[in-house]
Chains A and B, each alone.
Chain A
C-alpha cells in the first residue's frame, strides 16, 4: 500500500522498520521532522528503541559510537553545521568500524547562515571513511535506510544516507513502505563480533603505534597503518557488497535498480548530465525537451559517492561524447569535487569524453529548468575549454 508522506517521515519509517535500538539526535533544520517522528514512534510504543535527546551533534554521534560498540543498532540524523560539528566523530566511527547509519538531510553550511539545500555538508565529509549514498525520491529514502544497515553491518563501516533538504525532506510524495516481516527477513538482527561485554573484556580504540607489534602471546597485531589500509580496502570491497545488497533487496521487495547509478535515457545517449540527489529528476524534464530538439542526451544520478564507483562510471560513460557534471558543492579553490572524481575515473579512457562542470543551487538558489536546458544545450553544441570550468549557473553578480 502506498502512503503520501514527507521525505523525513519516509526516513523515519525506514529507521523503524530497520528495528534500530538506539536513536540519538539533536535538532537542526531541515532534519528535525525526522527525529520528531522517531521520538513519536518511541514514545507511542510503536518502536522499541532508546531515544536519547542529546545536547549536541558531537554527542549524538558519540552515543551512536558507544551504543554500536556495545552491540546495539544505532541511528542519528543531521544537516549542515550539525554534520560538521560531528567531524571528529565521523572519522572515529569509521576508524572504529561501527555500522552506524545516519541520514544527512543536505543543507548549505555557514557562514553566512543558510538553512536551504545544497550538498556542501556531505561532500565536505567524503574523506571521513564513511559510505555515502544519495537518494532521489521518497521511495529511495526509505529503501536506502534499510539497505544501508545491510551494507554497514556486512562491511562494518558506517553509512550516510543523504537526501536533499526541503526538496525531499519537506515535500510529500507517494511511496510504498516495505512490509515489516520482509524487512526482518532481509535485515537480520545486529550481532557484532566484539561488543563491549564484561564477560569478554576488550579495550577498544587503544593507542596504536605506527608499526606492527606482537601481543602477549607473540602473535602479530596490526599497526595504525595496517588498520587504516584495511578500512580503505574494505571500503573498496564495499562496492561489491552494495551490489549484492541491491540484488537481495530486489529479490525480496521486487524493486531496485542499478546499485550505483540512476540513469534516464542514457542507453543511446551521446551526452550525459551527471549529478547527486534529486536534481537528476529535475534534469529528466530537461533531457526530454532536448531529446525533442534532436540531442541524444540522458541524465545519470550517482547513488553512491563513497566508495566512488569508478569502474561503473567508466563502463557506463566511456562511449559518450560528453559528460556534464552539475554540482551543488565544490572543492573551494579548485572545482566541483564530483567533477574531479569523474575526470579521474575517465582518465584511462581513449577517446575520453569532454567533461564540463556547472556549480548551481548553492544555499538553495532556485534552479530554473531553462537554465539547465541552456547549459546542457551550450555544452552539447559548443565544447567549452576545461580552463573555463567550473561554470556558475544562475549567478547574479553585480557588475
Chain B
C-alpha cells in the first residue's frame, strides 16, 4: 500500500454538508464524510433505500455535493452498471461510480444484482456499511445480524442464525479487490478506497458501522465500540487484492498482541443482553480458533 494517510494530509474539502439528518453518533456519518473525501468530486453515487437515504436529506435539500442517484432497494449494483454503461457510451471512463448500501441492501435484497455486476466485471466500488440490522426501518434482523442479537424481529431469544459472511461471498466472484473496514478506523477505510480507485473491475468494501440506537449504547461510544470489535478479534480488517489475503494494520497487530476478551465488546451493547455466559464463551472460543488459524497462516507466510 502507498504511504498511509494521516489526519494531517487528509483533504480539507468537505463533500458532506454539516447539519445532515444522521443520528448522533452515527457510524455511517463518519465513513460517509471520510469516504467521499477519498472518492473525490469526480464521482457519481448510487444509493438504495437505507439510513443513507435519510442522511442525504429531504427534497429539495441534499446533504452531499456529489451527484447521486437514488434507486430501488434491490437494484443498487445494476444501477451502477447502467451509469457505467452510459458513461462509456459518452466516452467518459474516468468518473468513479460508487454504490453505498446498507447490510440489508447488500446481503439480502441487493445480493442478486451485486453478484450479477461482480460476475460481469463492472468497474465500480461497492461500499456496504454494515450496521448489522435494518436500522432505517427500526432494527429488524438482516442477513448480517450476528447470532444471538436482539432486534425488533428477534425480540426475545435473539437471532438464531449466524452472520452471513458477505465479503467471502463477494470474494468468491474472484473480483480484483475485497476489503473490510471499520467506521472506527476511518483512515484505513480512506486508504482502501484510494487503492480501490486504482484498480479496474468490481471493488467491494465491507464496513463495520456502529449504530447507537440499533445496538443500544450511548452515542458518545461509537468509535470506542467499533474499536472493541476489532481489538477483540471479532471483526477483522483485511484486504483481498487479486485473491491475496492480508490483514490490515489494526487487525494484523493482534497476531502478536493480546486480544481484548469478546465479553468487553458484548457488554457494551444492549442488543447482546440476552447472551448467556455459555454463548459468550462459545463466541470467545470461535474467535480464538479463528485467530489460531490466522497465526498459523502467518507463520507459513500465507497471509
Contact of B116 among A59, A88, A92 (CB under 8 A): A59
> Which single member of A54, A195, A203, A205 contacts B78 (CB below 8 Å)?
A54
Identify the stretch in A61-69, A127-135, A180-188 within 8 Å (CB) of chain B at 4 or more residues. Answer: A61-69
- Contact of B70 with A206 in the complex, beta carbons under 8 Å: yes
Q: Which of B52-72 contact A (CB under 8 A)?
A: 53-54, 56-62, 64-72
Stretch at the interface among A165-173, A213-221, A259-267, A347-355: A213-221
**A70 interfacial by beta-carbon distance below 8 Å:** yes
The segment from A45-53, A283-291, A365-373 that touches chain B is A45-53
Residues of A within 8 A of B56 (CB): 203, 206-207
A203 adjacent to B116 (CB under 8 Å): no
Contacts of B60 in A (CB 8 A): 206, 213, 215-216, 221
Contact digits for A63-85, partner B, Cβ 8 Å, 1 yes 0 no: 11111111110100000000000
Contact with A63, one of B62, B81, B87, B95 (Cβ below 8 angstroms): B81
Q: Which residue of A lies closest to B113 (CB)?
A: A59
Taken together as a complex, chains A and B put the C-alpha atoms of A63 and B66 apart, in Å, by: 20
**Which residue of the partner chain B has the closest CB to A48?**
B89
Whether the pair B86, A213 counts as a contact (CB closer than 8 A) is no
Say yes or no for A294: interface residue by CB 8 A criterion: no
CB contacts (< 8 Å) of B80 on chain A: these are 66
Interface positions, chain B 112-144, Cβ under 8 Å from A, are 112-113, 115-116, 119-120
Within 8 A of A (CB), among B84-119: 85-90, 95, 112-113, 115-116, 119
Are B83 and A89 interface neighbours, CB within 8 A? no
B67 and A66: CB pair below 8 A? no
Q: Which of B15-73 contact A (CB under 8 A)?
A: 41-44, 46, 53-54, 56-62, 64-72
In the bound complex, CA of A239 to CA of B297 (Å): 69
Chain A residues whose C-beta falls within 8 Å of the C-beta of B46 in the assembled complex? 66
Chain B residues with Cβ below 8 Å from A221 are 59-60
In the complex, what residues of A have CB within 8 A of residue B44's CB? 70, 196, 198
Q: Select one of B41, B70, B87, B115 contacting A203, CB under 8 A.
A: B70
- Interface check A202, CB cutoff 8 A: yes
Pick the most buried of A49, A53, A55: most chain B CB atoms within 10 A of its CB.
Answer: A55
Q: Is the CB of B120 within 8 A of A52?
A: yes
Q: Is the C-beta of A112 less than 8 angstroms from some C-beta in chain B?
A: no
Q: Cβ of B251 < 8 Å from any Cβ of A?
A: no
Tell me the bound Cα distance from A225 to B110 in angstroms.
Answer: 29
Residues of B within 8 A of A195 (CB): 86
Q: How far, in angstroms, from A22 to B60 measured CA to CA in the complex? A: 29
Report if A198-B82 is in contact (Cβ < 8 Å); known contacts: A205-B69, A206-B57.
no
B70 and A198: CB pair below 8 A? no
CA of A207 to CA of B58 in the docked complex: distance in angstroms? 5
Given A201-B67, A205-B69, check contact A66 B62 (CB 8 Å): no
* Residues on A with beta carbons closer than 8 Å to the beta carbon of B119: 55
Pair A203/B79 contact, Cβ less than 8 Å: no
Q: Report yes or no: B85 in contact with A198, Cβ–Cβ below 8 A.
A: no
- Is B74 at the interface (CB under 8 A from chain A)? yes
CB distance from B254 to the nearest CB of A (A): 38
User: What CA separation (Å) do A49 and B79 show in the bound complex?
Assistant: 17
Q: Chain A residues with Cβ under 8 A from B62's Cβ?
A: 202-203, 206
Report the minimal beta-carbon distance from B42 to chain A, rounded to whole angstroms: 5
Nearest chain B CB to A90 CB, angstrom units: 11
Q: Known contacts being A205-B70, A213-B60, is A70 close to B78, with CB within 8 Å?
A: no
Distance, CA A209 to CA B54, complexed state (A): 12
Q: In chain A, residues 274-293, which have Cβ atoms closer than 8 Å to a Cβ of chain B?
A: none
Give which listed residue, B66, B71, B75, B83, contacts A201 with CB less than 8 A.
Answer: B66
Contacts of B120 in A (CB 8 A): 52-53
Q: How far is the CA of A200 from the CA of B56 in the complex (A)?
A: 17
Question: What residues of chain B lie closer than 8 Å to A24, measured between beta carbons?
Answer: 81-82, 85
Asked if residues B75 and A198 are in contact (CB atoms below 8 Å), the reply is: no
* Contact across chains for B58 and A64 when beta carbons are under 8 A apart: no
Residues B58 and A203 in contact, CB atoms below 8 Å apart: no
- B72, A67: Cβ atoms closer than 8 Å: no
- Chain A residues whose CB sits within 8 angstroms of the CB of B57 once the complex forms: 203, 206-207
A197 is an interface residue with CB less than 8 A from chain B: yes
Which of these, A54, A202, A203, contacts B81 with CB under 8 Å?
A54
Which A-chain residue is minimally distant from B62 (CB atoms)? Answer: A203
User: A21-B89, A204-B67 known; 12 other A-B pairs, CB under 8 Å?
Assistant: A22-B86, A22-B89, A54-B116, A62-B82, A66-B71, A69-B83, A69-B86, A72-B86, A198-B95, A203-B62, A207-B57, A216-B61
Q: CB within 8 Å of B: which residues of A?
A: 21-22, 24, 49-50, 52-56, 58-60, 62-72, 74, 88-89, 92, 195-198, 200-209, 213, 215-216, 221
Which 9 A-B pairs rank lowest in CB-CB distance, beginning with the nearest? A66-B82, A55-B116, A59-B78, A62-B75, A70-B86, A72-B86, A62-B78, A63-B82, A221-B60
9 A–B contact pairs at CB < 8 A? Answer: A52-B81, A56-B116, A65-B71, A66-B81, A72-B89, A88-B72, A196-B44, A196-B67, A206-B60
